[in-house]
Every structure is written in structure tokens, then in C-alpha cells.
Amino acid sequence: MPLIHKPATELHELIKTKQVSSRDVTEAFLAQIHHVEPSLNAFLTLTDDLALSMADAVDQKVSKGLPLGPLEGVPIAIKDNICTENIPTTCASTILKGFLPPYNATLIETLKQAGLPILGKTNMDEFAMGSSTETSAYQKTHNPWNVDCVPGGSSGGSAVAVAGFEAPLSIGSDTGGSIRQPASFCGNVGLKPTYGRVSRYGLIAFASSLDQIGSFANNVTDTAHLLNLLAGHDPKDSTSLALEKEDFTRLLGSPKKGLRVGLPNEFFKHLSPEVKALYTTLINTLSQDGIEFVWLDLPSIEYALATYYIIAPAEASSNLARYDGVRFGFRAAGTSSTAEMIEQSRSQGFGAEVKRRILIGTYVLSSGYYDAYYKKAQKVRTLIKKDFDRAFEQVDIIASPTTPTPAFKLGEKTNDPLEMYLSDIMTIPLNLAGLPGLSIPCGLHNNLPMGWQLMGKAFDEARLLQVAHQMESLIGFGGCA
């Protein structure tokens, strides 16, 4: 098996036992990148030199007989909304064209410490607003399963990097499904940890109360090992929680006895008969293995999409106010006053979807509308959380399809924002509740992968990964070779 098809944990073992060098591994992925990028367009910036120098540092440790940390030497790709010092970080927006952050996100510091060579920055929907990576100001990313299809979004580049064997691991961010939905479309494992589990310091904010950094990998084991690195309290992020360090791989391989999985009726309502059949078969297969499924109701879920499209744009309208052309990024030329400079820089620097959300957000926060929209949305958000709390009194895990359909065609939904928003209908509730979730591949529909979303209790990622690992081995999904 070529190196690039091997799981991250296996690559790490090979490096540790001197069977291959980190440079060999990194070069193999860089070669694949240069080979497939013309058709996939997953990366916005490649950092070959950085990756190779980091790989060499790991190899030196190995040659000196120094011990390696978890996943050390295994390369990784980073979504372009995570600040990398002196490396372009654009959020796929014109307004941040050429922006070189003066600092590293906490996550990047962690990865540098841990010795995971950074391959480059991946394409995304502009400011993570979108579900197909098509709102990127720079390029369209293609789904490796079918290059006429979108990879999903907003972390489409990171999903494709792993699905196209350009990277064994990648980092994304998930505000309303931006990791789980593209993982589902690209047939890999995408994890969104509990809100507060991974530091947001240096993650360029879209909607602060919903944004969470997470990962893409080829399997659940790699995902669990990577979470061991990502998780942890950061004094620079007031919303990150100070919890004991834990090993998220500790429950892998020991299936939970008497596992009860909840199936929310609401998530199975709007599926096409074919898709529904796929999941019915899946549930039957898993049931035969002793997993007990329980149908339950999450009545407030009906309002999740509407709630999300008030809270997320409201926060975004404020978070994106700093892009004014004053201190960094794009500044419109030929303006004659400060007000005009700010207005023109924003008019020219933001794309249509970003403007749409800023407008919605500005509207719902306006005096006279705040109570009717933003305040009410926060109340509904509390109800959604309570629905989940109640459900978790009966079950260990909640499961659903990750998306109502497999990947759609490029351009198919770009003119219909509402249709586009609906593709996140299954993933959004979890962000509103702040809970952890992941998507694992569970089958094909029209030769495109479908995802199985597993949702856990807050800070119960170890259990979530245990169950995902158990189901992963039962499903036996092959991947995109």
C-alpha cells in the first residue's frame, strides 16, 4: 500500500520505528498534492518548505533516539481561517488577500510543538459561510468522488485534502456543520468537539458562540489521537474549558455493552425514499449486532435552522466589522474620506454570501428588532439544548444522517441560498446545543458517500469516539481509493 493510503497512526508507527522518515511521508503527500491539485483545488497556499523543515526536525529526533509524541511526524493540512504567523491566512476572502497574521493560533502552536508538518492552507467558503466551498473568492474545490460535485463546506478544502490523499489529517472548523457535512460528502471522518473543548484563539471568527475547531481523518482511531493533541484549556480563550487532560483513545476497541442509540424522528422526516432506505438498512445491520435503537422526539429542532440563521449572522455582522481597510487586508483604492474608504473596502472585499449574512445580522440586532429576533432565538436555543438533555437521559448517543442528500453538483444551489442552507439542517442543532458530534461514512448513494452522524453528551467525546469506532468496524466503509 502506498504511504499516502495509510492511516495517520500507522504512518507515525513507521516513522517512530525508523521504517520511513517523516520527510519520506511528507514528500509523498506533497507529491500527491502536486499531482491532484490541478483537478481538486483543495489548497489555497502550500507550505512545502515549512512542512519539510518540520519533518526534518522530527527525523533528527528519531536519529538521536529521542522519544516522539503522539502523531509526531505525520503531516497535516489547515483550513485557511486559522491564523498562521507570516503565512497567508485569507478565509478565502478578497478582504484578507495577502494578509499575513502577526501571530499563530493556539492550535498552530500546539501542532508545531507536537511536530506535525504543516502542508498548507485549505480552501473554504468565504469566512466559513456556505455549504459547498463555492463562496471562496479564489477557487472552486472539487469532490474527489466526482469532480463535478461540490465537496461540501465550509471546510471543503480540508475534507478533500484527506479524501484525495493529499494529507492524512486536516483541521477544519464547524459552525453549523462545516466539518461534518463535507466529511459526509467526501466519505471521511469529521469531528466537531464540544464547544469549549478546543481553543478558538486564532480561529478567525464567523459566529463566536457556535464556532468550534475540529478535524478530518480517514478513520476514527486517527481522529481520537488527533483530538488528544487539539483538546485542552487555553487561557487566551475565555470560552475554553479548564478540564482534566484525558485520553480520547481509551475506550476504542472495547465496544459498549447495552449501547442505546437515539434516533430523532425529526431528522428522518425529509429524506428521499432512496436515502431513507439506505439508513433503514444501516440501522437494521447495526441492530443485529446488539445495538439498541430508540426513536425519540426533539420537538424544538424544527426551529433550529431559523434560530441558527438569526444567531450566526448576528454574531458575524459584529465579528466582521473589523475588516474596514484600516489596519490590514484589502483597502479600496481611490476613496476620498474615511467613511468612503471603509464602505468601499467592505463593498469590494466581501462576497455576496458574506454581505447577505452581515445584512441579516445587522437587521436582527437593530434597535426595535432585537427582542423579536435575537433574544427570541436565544430562548429557542435554550429549548433545543433542553431537548438534547432530555434525550440523553434515555440514550447514550443520538444518531442521524449527516446530510439529507449526498454531494450535489457544482453550481446547482448557488443561486438558491435557502436550498443551500437546508443542506445543513441535520448538523446545525448540535452547534446550537454546543454538543460534540462526528460524521462517519456509512455507504454510497449514486456512487457518492453518505454520512452517519453521531451526537454525544457535552464533553463526552471519549464515548462518542468509542461508539463511532464500534460502528465503523461494523460498517466497514472502504474509502475512496
Partner 1 sequence: MTQWEVVIGLEIHAQVTTQSKLFCSCSTQFGSTPNTQVCPVCTGMPGALPVLNRTVLDKAITLGLATHCTINEHNEFARKNYFYPDLPKGYQISQLDKPICSLGYLDVEVDGSTRRIGLTRIHMEEDAGKLVHQGSDNIKGATHSLVDLNRSSVPLVEIVSEPDIRSAKEAKAYMESMAQIVRWLGVCDGNLEEGSLRCDANISLRPKGTETLGTKTEVKNLNSFKSVERAILLEIERQTDILDEGGTIIQETRHYNEATNSTKSLRSKEEAHDYRYFPDPDLVPIAIDRAWVSRIEQTLPELPTARHKRYQTELGLSDYDAGKMTVDRETGDFFEATLSLGSSAKEIANWLNGDISAWLKEHSSTLAICKLTPAHLAEMLKELINGTISGKIAKQLVDDMLETGTHPSTLIKEKGLAQVNDTGAINQMIDIVLSENPKAVEDLKAGKVQTMGFIVGQVMRKSQGKANPDQVNKRLKELFSLS
Q: Is 370 in the site for partner 1 (CB under 8 A)?
A: yes
Q: Which residues contact 322 (CB under 8 A, 6 or more apart)?
A: none
In whole angstroms, the minimum distance from the beta carbon of 372 to partner 1 comes to 14
Is the Cβ–Cβ distance between 149 and 408 less than 8 Å?
yes
The catalytic residue among 21, 132, 155, 178 is 178
Interface characters, 244-283, with partner 1 (x: CB under 8 A) = ----------------------------------------
Taking phi over 0 as left and psi of -120 to 50 as alpha, with beta for the rest, 446 belongs to left
For strand 292-296 and strand 260-264, is the pairing parallel, antiparallel, or unpaired?
A: parallel
Instruction: For 292-323, give one letter per residue: b (16+ CB within 10 A) or e.
Output: ebeebebebbebbbebbbbbbbbbbbbbbeeb
DSSP string, 207-267: STTT-EEEEEESSHHHHHHHHHHHB---TT-TTS-------TTTTTTSPPTT-EEEEEHHH
Near partner 1 by CB under 8 A: residue from 362, 376, 417, 445: 362
Q: Which is nearer to partner 1, 213 or 226 (CB)?
A: 213
Q: Is 203 in the site for partner 1 (CB under 8 A)?
A: yes
Q: Which helix (H) or strand (E) holds 278?
A: helix 273-288
The catalytic residue among 61, 79, 413, 457 is 79
Is residue 178 flagged as an active site residue? Answer: yes
The catalytic residue among 93, 154, 170, 240 is 154
In whole angstroms, the minimum distance from the beta carbon of 209 to partner 1 comes to 4
In whole angstroms, the minimum distance from the beta carbon of 435 to partner 1 comes to 17
Is residue 79 flagged as an active site residue? Answer: yes
Alpha helices in 69-155 (DSSP H): 106-114
Q: Which helix (H) or strand (E) holds 384?
A: helix 376-394
Taking phi over 0 as left and psi of -120 to 50 as alpha, with beta for the rest, 199 belongs to beta
Using CB under 8 A, which residues numbered 321 to 350 contact partner 1?
321-324, 326-328, 338-339, 342
Q: Is 310 in the site for partner 1 (CB under 8 A)?
A: no
What residue type is assigned to position 450 of the chain? Answer: M
Span of 196-204, 251-259, 265-273, 276-284 interacting with partner 1 by CB under 8 A: 196-204
In whole angstroms, the minimum distance from the beta carbon of 421 to partner 1 comes to 21
Q: Which is nearer to partner 1, 165 or 206 (CB)?
A: 206
Q: Is 83 in the site for partner 1 (CB under 8 A)?
A: yes
Residues recognised as catalytic: 79, 154, 178
Residues making contact with partner 1 (CB under 8 A): 81-83, 89, 91, 96, 99, 101-103, 105, 200-205, 207-209, 235-239, 314-315, 317-318, 320-324, 326-328, 338-339, 342, 362, 365-367, 370, 374
